[in-house]
Amino acid sequence: MPDPIAIGRIGLVTGVGFDAGSNCAAIRSAIDNFRETRFQDQYGEWLMGCEVPFAESWRGERRLVEMAAMAIAECLGGATRQSCQHIPLLLCLAETDRPGRIVRDDATFLLALESALNLKFHPMSRVFPDGHVALASALDCARTLVKSDGIRRVLVAASDSLLVGKTLSHLEEHERLLTSAHSDGFIPGEGAGALLIEAPGQSAGPQLLCRGIGFAVEPAHIHSDLPLRANGLTAAIQQSLADAGCGESVLGFKIIDASGGQYAFKEATLAFGRIDRTKRTEFDVWHPADCIGEIGAPIGLVMIAVLKSAFEKAYAKGSNVLLHLGNDDGKRASMIFSWDSGAG
């Protein structure tokens, strides 16, 4: 069983806030910033979206860089250039085959981000271009890196936007968007996030721990004609529980990346129903995308930020939580988080 990793400082930028605190407060209060965008659906109606309200009209890669730089700056809290040279950056980006993907070259984007921050990260920095599940892959990598000589902390970051013409056209063609003619879809958004990862006990006080990670592939993904039985997500959850060395009975609630449409909610219900063997009076399901829209790769970081805030402000229902993520191509990831209060 791998050692857990601790979640330290967090930075967030979405359409409802420019820092982690304001984002978590807005999501807890169910406040959104959904507005008409500059894009139209095929019937000429304006699409709703959740855009980061920058004063500057940045577009393309520059916009992703600026969002990521803001989130990372908050997360690092004034870290020096010298200290960052010992911190690997694991950067989560959109899938390489997503239509309308903004980032043209991952390595160049990473360099542009370092330039915007005027920082240089550890040579073991790398990019995970895998959409929603990229976060789980980055955390899996991070728990290996924090055991390496000379590496005490790892920075996990993500930046993405679905408010791109080609992306929106593709999504509308496949009936994924909420439009004037289609109600079973999501509202697109954008954002960035950053997490500082370290070994447990490295910082004083209570800590949010990632104890288990699991991966699988769902053959009956959203673009498949196969009947959905949630085999992939079920396997990912089971693997994460085994990785954490616990059973499903310890789980108090779950946070999922569903952003709209019936598929994700049905899959989440089926998967948990297949592993749940505990009598429960309640089991909450949180889905932060209700307030910020479908933001792509950073959604997992938002989910962790919301969870950490819930523990810190004592409104989390239980000390062990399931988080899971999924891509349109069938890739699934599951994570088990626990709150270590530091008592005893």
Helices 299-312 + 20-28 axis angle, to 10 = 80
Of 120-124, 177-181, 187-191, 339-343, the range with the lowest mean pLDDT is 339-343
Q: Extract the tokens encoding 82.
A: 């010298």
| For residues 227-247, average pLDDT | 97
Q: What is the pLDDT of residue 342?
A: 74
Neighbouring CB atoms inside 10 A of 207's CB total 22
Residue 172, CB-side half-sphere exposure with 13 Å CA sphere: 21
pLDDT tens digits for 154-191?
A: 999 999 999 999 999 999 999 999 999 999 999 999 99
The alpha carbon of residue 327 and the mean position of all alpha carbons in its chain are separated, in whole angstroms, by: 12
Share of the chain above pLDDT 90, in %: 92
Choose among 245, 237, 227, 258: nearest CA to 328.
Answer: 258
3-state secondary structure of 156: strand
- Structural domains of the chain, ranges and CATH numbers in brackets: 5-198 (3.40.47.10), 207-340 (3.40.47.10)
What whole-number distance in Å separates Cα of residue 309 and Cα of residue 6?
Answer: 14
Q: Extract the tokens encoding 228.
A: 């959905």
Beta bridge partners of 14: 17, 191
Answer whether 68's CB lies under 8 Å from 161's CB. no
Beta bridge partners of 336: 212, 322
What whole-number distance in Å separates Cα of residue 189 and Cα of residue 163?
Answer: 6
Secondary structure element (H or E) that encloses residue 167, with its range: helix 165-173
pTM value? 0.97
> How confident is the prediction for the chain on average, in pLDDT?
95
Of 227-231, 279-283, 320-324, the range with the lowest mean pLDDT is 279-283
Q: Extract the tokens encoding 74.
A: 């908050």
Share of the chain above pLDDT 70, in %: 99
Between 205 and 218, name the one with better pLDDT.
218
Q: What is the pLDDT of residue 134?
A: 98
Choose among 68, 65, 41, 63: nearest CA to 53.
Answer: 63
DSSP 94: -
Q: For tokens 């089971």, name the residue.
A: 238
What whole-number distance in Å separates Cα of residue 255 and Cα of residue 284?
Answer: 8
- Residue 180 has phi, psi (to 5 degrees) of -65, -20
> At residue 65, what is the residue type?
V
What whole-number distance in Å separates Cα of residue 155 and Cα of residue 74?
Answer: 12
